[in-house]
Amino acid sequence: MDNCRMVQHLFFSQDLTRWIYRGSFVEGDIFTVPGEDGACPYFWPIGDKHILLFCSHQRGSQYLLGDYDKVYHRFRPFAHGRFNFGPIGPGGVHAPSATPDGKGGVHVIFNINNGMQSQGWDHIMSLVHLLTLHGNNTLNIEPVPGIESLRFDHKHIGETSLPANREIVLEDIAGNAMELAVEIHPGDARAISINVLRSPDSEEFTAIKFFRHGGMPVIRHIQNEPKSYRLDQKDALVLDTSRSSLLPDVAARPPEVVPFELEDSEPLKLRIFIDRSVVEVFANNRQCIALRVYPERKDSIGVSIRAQGRDASLRLLDRWQMKSIYSKGDCP
C-alpha cells in the first residue's frame, strides 16, 4: 500500500508554460498515513531547515519539518506536527496558506470549516500564525505580533489561589471578541479547566483543559539505567466544544486532544483568542488548537477557571477586548 501514501510530486519550469517532471518530492515520510492526499502544499525555508505545510481531507492541516537536498530535489522530513487533531469537519482546521516572513520564519493562515448546517460557504480564516525554528529543531508557534494592535480595554488579575475542585468565576472578565493571556502554575492538580463563552449558570460554555499525564503514551529512558525504559503518559491540551451551544443544528464533534508536555517547574502559558464563532488557543509558543463554536445565548460571554484534584495557582490573567479589523462601512 506504499503507493497510497502522501508523496508530493515536483515539476520544474523556466517559463511557467513548459513543465518538466522531477519525480516524487518527499523521501522517507514515516509520519503521514496511507490515504492522506497532501493538498494545499506550501514549501519554504525555516531557519536552516525547510517546512512543508499541507492538509489532507482525512486529517486536516499539518506540517513536515526536515532537510532539503537541493542537488537531487528531495525533501527528507525528520519531524511532523498537526494543526488539526480530529476530523476536518465539522469545525476543523483545514487548508493552509503560507509565505516567508523575511526573517527566517513563516507566516501561515488556515481555513476553519463550518460547524453547523448552513446554506452556501461559511468557512472562516484563522489568525495568522508565525512559525519559527528553535535551536533544537522544534517548531515555535505563536500568533503574529500585529494582532496586538487590535487590543483595547485592558483588565488584569494578579496572583490568585485556585482551590481544588472549585470553579472560580472571574466576574470582571467577559467577552466574545477578546484575547486572554493566562499563566497558571498547575502544581499537583491533575487537570486545569478554563471555561470561556460561559453563560451565568453554565448552560453553555467552551472548555480549554490541561491534563497532567493524561495524553498519549511515551516511552522514556530511566535515569542512570541506559537500557531500561518505562511507559509514561504525556500531558495533553484539550479543546472541548461539546457544551458550547444549545442550538439543535450544531454538529457533534468530540473534543480535540492535543499532545503537549509541560516541564515540572514550567508554568502553563495560554493565549486564548475568542472571535464569536471561533476559539483559538496557543500554548507556551509550541502548540495551538482551534475550533468553531456557536453559542445561542447572548449572555454566554463569561470566563471561569477550575483546578481538579489538588490546588493550583493563577499567576496572572490579562484580558483585552479586540477591535474589528474592518473600518466602518466595510463589509464584515
pLDDT digits (tens, 9 = 90+) for 109-135: 999 999 998 777 778 999 999 999 998
Q: Give the total residue count for the chain.
A: 332
Pick 10 or 231 by higher pLDDT: 10
Residue 227, pLDDT score: 63
Give the closest residue to 324 by CA, choosing from 147, 169, 162, 141: 147
- What are 199-252's pLDDT values in tens digits? 999 999 999 999 998 876 666 556 666 666 666 778 999 999 999 999 999 999
**Cell 516572513 found at:** 101
Please determine, for residue 92, whether its predicted confidence score (pLDDT) is greater than 70: yes
Residue 182's identity, in one-letter code, is V
Residue type, 164: A
Please, which residues bridge with residue 61 across strands?
A: 55
- Stretch 304-318: mean pLDDT, rounded? 98
What is the model's pLDDT at position 322?
A: 97
Closest CA to 143 of 156, 122, 127, 159: 127
Contacts of 143-151 spanning 24+ positions with Cβ under 8 A: 143/271, 143/273, 143/280, 143/282, 144/107, 147/179, 147/273, 150/322, 150/323, 150/324, 150/325, 151/179, 151/320, 151/321, 151/322, 151/323
The answer, yes or no, to whether residue 331 has pLDDT greater than 60, is no
- CA separation for the pair 91, 154 (Å, rounded): 30
What integer pLDDT is reported at residue 231 of this predicted model? 66
pLDDT at 2: 45
Distances (CA, A) of 216 to 179, 274, 283: 29, 27, 17
Q: Which residue is associated with the grid cell 494582532? A: 147
pLDDT at 1: 38
Q: What pLDDT is recorded for position 140?
A: 97
149-322: CATH, from 3.40.50.2300, 2.60.120.560, 2.60.40.420, 3.40.50.150: 2.60.120.560
Question: What is this structure's pTM?
Answer: 0.92
Q: Considering the domain 2-143 in this protein, what is its CATH number?
A: 2.115.10.20
pLDDT in tens, 165-179: 999 999 999 999 999
pLDDT number for residue 283: 98
Average pLDDT over residues 43-56: 97
With pLDDT > 90 as the criterion, what percentage of the chain qualifies?
A: 78
Q: Taking the domains of the chain in order of start, what are their residue ranges?
A: 2-143, 149-322
Please report the pLDDT score of residue 328 as a whole number: 67
AA letter at 49:
K
282: three-class secondary structure by DSSP: strand
3-state secondary structure of 4: helix
Region 78-104: mean pLDDT is 95
| Cell 488548537 -> residue | 289
Across the chain, what does the average pLDDT equal? 92
Three-state SS for 220? strand
Q: In angstroms, rounded to a whole number, what is the distance separating the alpha carbons of residues 4 and 20?
A: 23
Query: Cis ω on the peptide bond leading into residue 259 (within 30° of 0)?
Result: no
Look at residue 124 in the predicted model and tell me its pLDDT.
92
pLDDT (tens digit per residue) in 253-262:
999 999 899 9
Could you report the per-residue pLDDT of 179-205, keeping only the tens digit for each? 999 999 999 999 999 999 999 999 999
Is the pLDDT at 51 greater than 80? The verdict is: yes
Q: What is the pLDDT of residue 122?
A: 76
β-strand 217-222 against 225-233: which pairing, if any? antiparallel
